[in-house]
Amino acid sequence: MKNYKYLIFDLDDTLLDFKDNERKGLEQIFKKYNIPLEEKSLNQYQEINKALWDKLEKGNISKKDVLSKRFSEFFKLYNYEIDGQIIEDEYRNSLNSGHKIIPN
């Protein structure tokens, strides 16, 4: 039997259902700030989030900027001026508590 020094697991959407966990986290945030959880609002968040991750991949912004700006930009659509890092911390706490396992 071969000995391995490292073993890497791909958790997100392989072992754990990240999309389910992400949705539950967003549900908590949206509910707290009275933003309707609808297809429109989810799409708006996802578009902002994706655009920022694309900028990161191109080297135009930092990961820290992605994580704080995605919420501050999204909340501006609903006339909230918020500290995106505060919302990111709340969201991250929710993500860390979720763990729906993908079957098989």
Q: At what angle do helices 39-57 and 18-32 cross, to 10 degrees?
A: 120
User: Using an 8 Å Cβ cutoff, are 70 and 83 in contact?
Assistant: no
Establish whether 10 is a catalytic residue: yes
**What's phi and psi for 99, nearest 5 deg?**
-165, 50
DSSP state of 100: P
Tokens linked to 89: 């911390």
The catalytic position among 10, 17, 20, 83 is 10
Catalytic residues: 10
